[in-house]
Amino acid sequence: MKVLVLGAGQLARMMALASKPLNIDVKAYDVGSNRVVDPLSLSVDYGDLDQGIADADFITAEFEHISHDVLALCEQSGKLFPSSQAIKTGGDRRLEKTLLEQTHVTNAKHKVVANKADFDSAIASLSLPLIMKSALAGYDGKGQWRLKDKSEAEAIWQDIQLFIEGDTSGQPQAIVVEQMVPFDREVSMVGVRSKTGETLAYPLTENHHSKGVLSVSLALNEHQHLQAQATEAFDKIANALDYVGVLAIEFFQVGDSLLVNEIAPRVHNSGHWTQQGADTSQFENHIRAVCQLPLGSTELVRPSAMVNILGTDTVPNNIFEIPSVTMHWYGKGKRPGRKMGHINICGKDKAELTMRLSQLAKILPKDDFPDVSEYVKSL
């Protein structure tokens, strides 16, 4: 079988690596060059998008901000999974919020803002502090503003107005204004749904962010009452979208309840631990679902964690002295803040995993991993 992935970044790369043992050939459509390439080397050119669609048995995506024209072409082929509507919903916070309301999945109070009148109305009707997120194209902390005092409102609106006017997405831009949630922690669930409607969920993952970017994910399979809530939300959302493939949902935990922060219609950074910690990785399960193969087990085989490598292309070699450390480089050129790779680390139980994470934090350079040590101390 042959799969075309829309996008040629690290997620396409990891899907390709997971597909090799299944004898499934994965190529990637580079949205920047408009060419189909080898997702591992990026140097082999297989033609344009039309050629890629013709050669593929199935088409999927590694990110949600894809041109609607490209999605329409792929949808017409009958090979695209998940659907273009599911991908668009994950890439547009307005559609996402509508979906959450329609499926009765709890999320933060919010208003959609397209102009100054909407902006003033949102501030008047919602309680401060507020977080404002671009409807399109915002991720990893980009396209976001925080309003803590009404005296800051005019300056923030001026910045938002410039952002909206400078948008190059080709779609009408807007801002979703949310009432900030006083959450206890951020967690996420990665799950998978087959074309026949079967759903499986991985254990809920605790996430730690640094400057708006995921830094560490921890999978322990604790808190079964929260796991049940997250699984119910996953099923509602995935079934409403008639979803096929891996879908990630980010939550805020507030006491014993979960509120959805956002969804991602793809394999997800917080699920990278599944490469070493689960029976079947999220990448293999996504390919299985898209290619209409039986889904693999999502069981946690051992407590696991993932540490993102941001903006650096080296780590000390002595991290490999720690048992159950696995390195995943993405083959990218270095630049500040860029996701360059990740480290997976496992243990037989929480105590062993925490000990190994502590060892890892002591070895990693503090300048490149500034708050990993503090997070591990909090476990």
* Residue 360 and residue 230 share a domain: yes
97 is a domain residue: no
Q: What average pLDDT values come out for the chain (379 residues) when binned by 10 residues?
A: 98 98 98 95 92 98 94 98 97 96 95 93 94 80 85 93 82 91 96 98 96 93 95 98 98 97 97 98 98 98 98 96 98 93 97 97 94 89
Number of folded domains that form the chain: 3
Give the range of the structural domain holding residue 65, as residue numbers without chain letter: 2-80
Q: How far apart are CA 324 and CA 10, in angstroms?
A: 22
In a domain, 349, yes or no: yes
**What's the confidence (pLDDT) of residue 143?**
82
Output the CA–CA distances (angstroms, integers) from residue 159 to 8, 135, 220, in the order listed: 32, 15, 41
Nearest to 191 by CA among 238, 230, 271, 246: 246
CA distance linking residue 218 with residue 36, whole number of Å: 35
Residue pair 96/253 in contact (Cβ under 8 Å)? The answer is no
Contact 212, 140 (CB under 8 A): yes
Q: Look at residue 138 in the predicted model and tell me its pLDDT.
A: 62
pLDDT of residue 212: 83
Helix (H) or strand (E) holding 98: helix 93-102
Strand-pair partners of 213:
210
Tokens for 24, please give them: 């499934």
Same domain, 71 and 128: no
Q: How far is CA 127 from the centre of its chain?
A: 28
Q: What does pTM read for this prediction?
A: 0.95
Judge if 365 and 337 occupy the same domain.
yes
245 and 265 together in one domain: yes
Give the pLDDT score at 43. Answer: 85
Q: What is the CATH number of the domain that holds 140?
A: 3.30.1490.20
